[in-house]
Amino acid sequence: MSKQIAVLILATLVLAACGSTPQRKLETRATPAPVEDRAAAAPAAAPAATPGSGGYLAGDGPGADAPANLDAIPDAVPSNEPPHRYANRPYVALGKTYTPLTNAANFKEHGTASWYGKKFHGQRTSSGEVYDMYGMTAAHPTLPIPSYARVTNAANQKSVVVRINDRGPFLHGRVMDLSYTAAHKLGIIGNGSAEIEIESITPNVMTAAIAPVEPVQSKPLEKSGPAASSTPPAASAAPAAGSNVYLQLGAFKSQEAAESFMAKMRAELADAGKLINLFIKDGLVRVHVGPYANQNEARSSAESLHGKLGFKPMLNLH
């Protein structure tokens, strides 16, 4: 009898233990998680603060080897890229389901943005690319990967163009996590976050933002063709005879902004052996380098310039 009682007591204890064992909460998301997603793993951790650097999670923050002039880092330049095979599937993060957009056309959003830095520098983004805190990128919950967006600081109207290559943020109602450089150029490093406006852009309506954003001229640009410039050509190499193949480095609403950007590009590409000039088309002043003998040569040059400039020029036929 005592043996049966002992068996019953043991069985009762086993069932009670099974019923009280906590269930592991499964969260499906692309990795790595940006700053605020990681905060969920350690909610008790207090943000660290460095004078003039803004608030950030313990262990994160500005890098020790930041480039000398972050303001000179070019904005992302929109180009036609195929959607990522995996990063645009519906996913679950912190118990909420997100369905990425298949088309970002006319997307606009207002909200709070933050930034993520050295803690995630060198880790994989949701696109599989390595996160570079000194690049012009951002994380967004639903914008297509890859895609491009203009981000404007509502407080000071500073504006940058970023490439979306990561997912997040998912906490505190924030709408975007910016790279360290993008946050610096928007003037939000010191505060840690800011109210921003997000507007999707496509290669066809791209407006580069190396120079300050200029208002649309009230007098329309009338001629279509190479624009006059007071700056001498960057190189004396003879153009490819009869070729209409160029690479577009940027496009602007005003000639003043375009000439400022062209001067930067001539300094960067002084040894490129190609002419860098302005070309007006469809109401935009475009900065072109070339001409190239054919499209294959231009594409090869675009790949080389990608590593030098930090963005990939677009193929353009006059």
* Banded pLDDT at 225 (limits 50, 70, 90): very low
| pLDDT average, residue stretch 163-175 | 91
Mean pLDDT check: name the lowest of 97-106, 148-157, 285-294: 285-294
Number of domains in the chain: 2
The answer to whether residue 181 scores a pLDDT higher than 80 is yes
Asked if residue 120 is part of any domain, the answer here is yes
54 lies in the same domain as 199: yes
User: Of 151, 171, 204, which closes a domain?
Assistant: 204
72 lies in the same domain as 166: yes
Asked if residue 219 is part of any domain, the answer here is no
Could you tell me the residue range of the domain that residue 79 belongs to? 35-40+47-204
Count of C-beta atoms within a 10 Å radius of residue 133: 25
Asked if residue 92 is part of any domain, the answer here is yes
Higher pLDDT, 214 or 278: 278
Asked if residue 8 is part of any domain, the answer here is no
CATH of the domain at 237: 3.30.70.1070
Mean pLDDT check: name the lowest of 40-54, 174-188, 254-268: 40-54
279 lies in the same domain as 183: no
Average pLDDT, the chain: 73
b/e string for 195-216 if b means 16 or more Cβ within 10 A?
ebbbebbeeeebbbbbbebbee
d(CA 171, CA 29): 14
186 lies in the same domain as 145: yes
Mean pLDDT check: name the lowest of 48-52, 134-138, 157-161, 176-180: 48-52
User: Of 173, 204, 235, which closes a domain?
Assistant: 204
240 lies in the same domain as 183: no
Q: Which residues contact 118 (CB under 8 A, 6 or more apart)?
A: 60, 61, 62, 63, 64, 133
200 lies in the same domain as 290: no
Asked if residue 6 is part of any domain, the answer here is no
d(CA 84, CA 263): 35
pLDDT of residue 200: 93
| pLDDT average, residue stretch 176-205 | 88
239 lies in the same domain as 93: no
d(CA 19, CA 13): 10
Angstrom distances, CA of residue 135 to CA of 101, 107, 118, 170, 258? 24, 23, 12, 22, 22
Q: What is the pLDDT of residues 9-33, one digit of tens each?
A: 555 544 444 333 333 232 333 333 3
| pLDDT average, residue stretch 197-209 | 67
pLDDT of residue 216: 33
> Residues 114, 53: contact at Cβ < 8 Å?
no
166 lies in the same domain as 263: no
pLDDT of residue 108: 94
d(CA 106, CA 103): 9
88 lies in the same domain as 153: yes
199 lies in the same domain as 81: yes
> Residues 176, 217: contact at Cβ < 8 Å?
no
Cα atoms in the Cβ-side hemisphere of radius 13 Å centred on 197? 12
CATH of the domain at 162: 2.40.40.10
Asked if residue 30 is part of any domain, the answer here is no
Mean pLDDT check: name the lowest of 87-96, 118-127, 181-190: 118-127
146 lies in the same domain as 291: no
108 lies in the same domain as 70: yes
Query: What percent of the chain has a predicted confidence (pLDDT) above 70?
Result: 68
pLDDT of residue 58: 56
Asked if residue 26 is part of any domain, the answer here is no
Angstrom distances, CA of residue 236 to CA of 62, 240, 260, 271, 275? 42, 12, 21, 10, 7
* Banded pLDDT at 265 (limits 50, 70, 90): confident
d(CA 101, CA 96): 16
User: Of 174, 204, 234, which closes a domain?
Assistant: 204
pLDDT of residue 268: 81
